[in-house]
Amino acid sequence: MSNVPAIESAVGAAGPHGRGAEREFTVEARSQWELVRRRFFSHKLALASMIVLLSLVLLAFVGAALWKYNYTETSPRVDGRGAPTLDMIPFLDGDGLAFGEHPFGQDDIGRDYFALTLRGTQQSLIIATLAGLVGTFIGTAIGAIAGFYRGRIDNILMRFVDIGLTIPLLLLAAVIGRRAGDIPGLSWLFGENSVLLFGKDPDDVPVIGDYFGPNSIILLGLVIAFVSWLTIARVVRGEFLSLREKEYVEAARALGTPNGRIIRKHILPNAVGTIIVNATLLISAAILIETALSFLGLGVRGDDWSLGKLVSSCQNAFTTRPWLFWFPVIFIRVIALCINFIGDGLRDAFDPRQTRERR
Amino acid sequence: MFFFIVRRFAVTVPILAASTFLVFGLVTISGDPLAQFRTSQSPNRDQIIAQARQRLQLDRSFPSRYWDWLKGVVRFDFGQNKGGQEVYPILKEALITTFRLVMLATVLSIIIGLVIGIISAVRQYSAFDYGTTFASFLFFSLPVFWLAVLLKQFGAIELNDYLERPTVSITAAVVVGVITGLVMSTITGGSWRKRAPVLAATAAVSTALLLLADSTDWIINPGLSPVAVGVLAAAAGVLAAMAFAPLTKRTVLLSGLASAMIGFVGSLLFSGWLDEPSWVDLGELLGMSLLVGLIVGAAVGGIERSSAIKAGMTATVLVGLVVVTDQFISAWSPGRTIATVGPQTPNIQGTFWERMIDYGSHQVLPSLALALIGLATYARFTRASMLETLNSDYVRTAKAKGLPATQVVLRHGFRTALIPVTTVITLSFATVIEGATITERVFGWSGMGTLFINGLSDVDPYPVMAFLVVVSVSIVALNAITDVLYAYLDPRIRNE
């Protein structure tokens, strides 16, 4: 007890803004987002995946535009089979690094497979991102409302989720694929004279289903989103159910904060880790769902390509010309892996409890 | 608890009604059911169309057709498909096929996934953890059909070439031995001084076993001698005891060992009984194993009775598995065993075990394709869930009070970690069925997926509805099972 006055006097001497007080807080204050960013950037695998993914996106969108072949033009097949001209350094069994005329080879009718793969990557990325974003947005909104208000609202919304979970994705894709053109609102958006066409010729753009036009990859993305928001809604609801009981929410309520503000400013930032992680999982799942749909003939059709459609249309060439099979698969795998690793890094960044060393 | 389950079922009835109604509507509007008749060239086209219209009752509104269907389903009448065949027998056939495919895949992936998840959580940031994390990411992001095509191309051909003349060269034995040793040593963890002996011992033992198997032609004519069964039974007894109590608890160990030995002696006495069994016989075997375990555990358990009973039952079931496996592998003979098309050889004859070998050889690749993907998910979730519980305070307390590591991990960590994992497993069932749709197509099985896809493309609602009913009913049933499991795993729910 005897030294208490001494400390008080020491603090008093340094004053509230004196040097003594400054020395005590040598650790710089960081906001939550700063911490998250630092933890994410120290996760090497996630950072590397991010870089790889970004360069793939650049390659697919910018690279495809700069590449000398278009994905629709045909040219005579080099060496009869259209083998890939991509060459590795001698160490990896090649005669020196070379890109060649057709790095990924050519398909049956002589289209450049590199251009085709890049086109497929573009479409797959658009579909997956759209499905992920829309699905996450709807799922978060519904889950937040259900979890926050509980009671009857929760019950009704969750029963809708339950019903949605029993409806097979394939059925939805088939129905929308075949009939979207007949549904007034949808045909206005996606039909032959779609407002989203931006003056393109409806005939040379591609489809999910036989029926309708050009922006059907958007529709395909929406179909996948319609299925995938369900899981996010469940997860977010669970998170909200537990977060709404926290003391800080109670404090905010005691201060008279309106419900909308509590949801947006108090609970959502604490649930954002879970949401972002699930969103990345959703995007990588969407890529795979798209592949599966295309394999069963319910995905991208017509003249356009997605990675899934490339793989499934080339699976019979597997024994004779395996590269047709391998390249799109490698792209699918790399994209899905990168997104998964990024999700893992984000999980660790938002919720460091699962990592042993605190970073 | 009982009312809890009843309430859950009461909730699911309207959900099932709503979803079947929606799906019926969706299939009905998904296209023109008469398209195939309209393009027909025959002179009596109009008559055919009129007939089909009559048979499919297309002049009635779809809610009234749905109502009829609903009334039928209660009596197990699933309606007729567009060709006029009853759906119910087709469904039954398809269900058996898919059930075989999915069951094996699910059981395999759950068991292996859980084990990998636990080990990689306990040895976080070890080579094993990084390796399995990478592998599971790899499998998690695999398109099913791609994996299936690869398995069909490489798995079948290469494996069949090997199975025709199965031998193990010395190099192969050494390589496999060293790899096993490496895996075991990373699982062991700790410093290299601790791991090196494990590596050396495991590598030596597995290499020796492989060479022994080769020199005695065991691979060409596999089977387990009574001595081997005895050794395995003893090991099963100890393992079972270890899972439920520290080995210092003599009664539990005794219960495990005694049950295993009774199982072993039983297998010697009644060996002829398994030569030509039926499925009922195998069910009886399982029941008897459980009963023996129960009796032995209750008799010797004393104060540790519940642990002793669990250990006894686990031990006897494990021994039963060893015995059945022995019968199964004995029925195999070298040849191009692995098949890639269809669920079985048409008109297969032979003993029970020969038929099992045939089923198994048709099933191994498609089930493997499904299992690898499910496995990755389960391993990931188990790992995450285990990490959370292993870092919690009560696990630290358990360690601090000196409980053996197995006990801490299995009883304090794993049991709690299982709660979220059960949810994932039951929820992913629908995904497995959907994955099965594609696997079936690649391997030429005609199961539930084929029923569904064909119904969908023909705009034929009744087969699609049959598929949906089976899937939703099994999801509902699985949810109920999850709730019961929850109550078992989490006493707070039980005592509510």
**Does pLDDT of B59 surpass 80?**
no
Position A355 scores a pLDDT of 54
**Which range among B108-122, B151-165, B457-471 shows the weakest confidence by mean pLDDT?**
B151-165
Long-range contacts (CB closer than 8 Å, 24 or more residues apart) made by A189-196: A189/A215, A190/A214, A190/A215, A190/A216, A190/A218, A190/A219
Position A57 scores a pLDDT of 92
| Chain B residues close to A329, C-beta within 8 Å | 143, 146
**Does pLDDT of A189 surpass 60?**
no
Position A253 scores a pLDDT of 92
Helix locations, B30-154, DSSP H: 35-38, 45-55, 62-74, 87-122, 127-140, 144-150
**Which range among A200-214, B62-76, B284-298, B391-405 shows the weakest confidence by mean pLDDT?**
A200-214
- Best of B32, B136, B145, B424 to substitute, by most chain A Cβ atoms within 10 angstroms, is B145
Rounded to 10°, the helix B87-122/B429-443 angle is 110
Please answer yes or no on whether B26 and A171 come within 8 Å at the CB atom. yes
Write the single-letter amino acid at A238: G
Position A195 scores a pLDDT of 44
| Chain A residues close to B464, C-beta within 8 Å | 171
Segment (H or E) for B14: helix B2-29
Position A6 scores a pLDDT of 44
pLDDT bucket at A98, cuts 50 / 70 / 90: low
Nearest-angstrom CA–CA distance, B398 and B415:
14
HSE, side-chain direction, 13 A CA sphere, residue A240: 26
Q: State the residue for tokens 């699911």.
A: B12
Compute the Cα dihedral for B155, B161, B167, B171 and give only its sign: negative
Position A120 scores a pLDDT of 87
Give the CA radius of gyration of chain B.
Answer: 26
Q: Percent of chain A at pLDDT above 90?
A: 13
Please answer yes or no on whether B456 and A174 come within 8 Å at the CB atom. yes
Q: What is the pLDDT of residues A323-344, one digit of tens each?
A: 788 888 888 888 988 988 888 8
Q: State the residue for tokens 């880790």.
A: A273
Neighbours of B50 (CB within 10 A): 12
Buried b (16+ CB within 10 A) or exposed e, B102-126: bebbbebbbebbbebbbbbbbbbeb
E-state strands within B269-361: none
pLDDT bucket at A359, cuts 50 / 70 / 90: very low
Smallest CA-to-CA distance from B342 within B321, B318, B366 is with B366
DSSP labels, B423-487: HHHHHTHHHHHHHHHHHHHHHT--SHHHHHHHHHHTT-HHHHHHHHHHHHHHHHHHHHHHHHHHH
**Does pLDDT of A247 surpass 60?**
yes
Smallest CA-to-CA distance from B23 within B73, B79, B62 is with B62
Residues of A with CB under 8 A from a CB of B: 159, 162-163, 165-172, 174-175, 178-179, 284, 287-288, 291-292, 295-296, 308, 311-312, 315, 318-319, 325, 329, 332-333, 336-337, 340-341, 353-354, 356
For residue B305, the distance in angstroms to the closest alpha carbon of chain A comes to: 36
Nearest-angstrom CA–CA distance, A314 and A308:
10
**Which range among B62-66, B295-299, B478-482 shows the weakest confidence by mean pLDDT?**
B478-482
pLDDT bucket at A140, cuts 50 / 70 / 90: very high
Tokens of B47: 């008559």
Nearest-angstrom CA–CA distance, A68 and A66:
6
Write the single-letter amino acid at A118: L
Contact status, residue A159 vs residue A283, Cβ threshold 8 Å: no
Position A79 scores a pLDDT of 65
Main-chain dihedrals φ then ψ at residue A208, nearest 5 degrees: -100, 125
Please answer yes or no on whether A163 and B15 come within 8 Å at the CB atom. yes
Residues contacting residue A277 through CB under 8 Å, at least 6 positions apart: A343, A346, A347, A350
Q: What is the pLDDT of residues B123-158, one digit of tens each?
A: 888 888 888 888 887 777 677 777 888 888 777 887
Higher pLDDT, B117 or A211: B117
- Indicate the length of chain A as a whole number: 359
**Does pLDDT of A24 surpass 70?**
no
Nearest-angstrom CA–CA distance, A108 and A76:
10
Residues contacting residue B253 through CB under 8 Å, at least 6 positions apart: B237, B238, B241, B245, B247, B311
Q: What residues does A301 pair with on adjacent strands?
A: A207
Write the single-letter amino acid at A110: G
Q: What is the pLDDT of residues B346-387, one digit of tens each?
A: 777 778 888 888 888 888 888 888 888 788 888 888 988 898
Residue B226 DSSP label: H
Position A214 scores a pLDDT of 45
pLDDT bucket at B494, cuts 50 / 70 / 90: low
Main-chain dihedrals φ then ψ at residue B31, nearest 5 degrees: 175, -170
**Which range among A43-52, B74-83, B171-180, B484-493 shows the weakest confidence by mean pLDDT?**
B484-493
Please answer yes or no on whether B30 and A312 come within 8 Å at the CB atom. no
Model confidence, pTM = 0.76
HSE, side-chain direction, 13 A CA sphere, residue B128: 24
Please answer yes or no on whether B146 and A329 come within 8 Å at the CB atom. yes
Q: Percent of chain A at pLDDT above 70?
A: 71
Neighbours of B62 (CB within 10 A): 17
pLDDT bucket at A249, cuts 50 / 70 / 90: very high
Neighbours of B418 (CB within 10 A): 21
Q: What residues does A112 pair with on adjacent strands?
A: A106
Query: How high is the mean pLDDT of chain B?
Result: 83
* Pairing, β A207-208 against β A300-301: antiparallel
Q: What is the pLDDT of residues B160-191, one digit of tens each?
A: 888 877 777 888 888 988 898 888 888 877 77
Rounded to 10°, the helix B448-457/B461-489 angle is 140
**Does pLDDT of A216 surpass 80?**
no
Q: What is the pLDDT of residues B235-293, one digit of tens each?
A: 999 988 888 888 888 888 889 999 999 988 888 887 777 777 888 888 888 998 899 98
Higher pLDDT, B45 or A8: B45
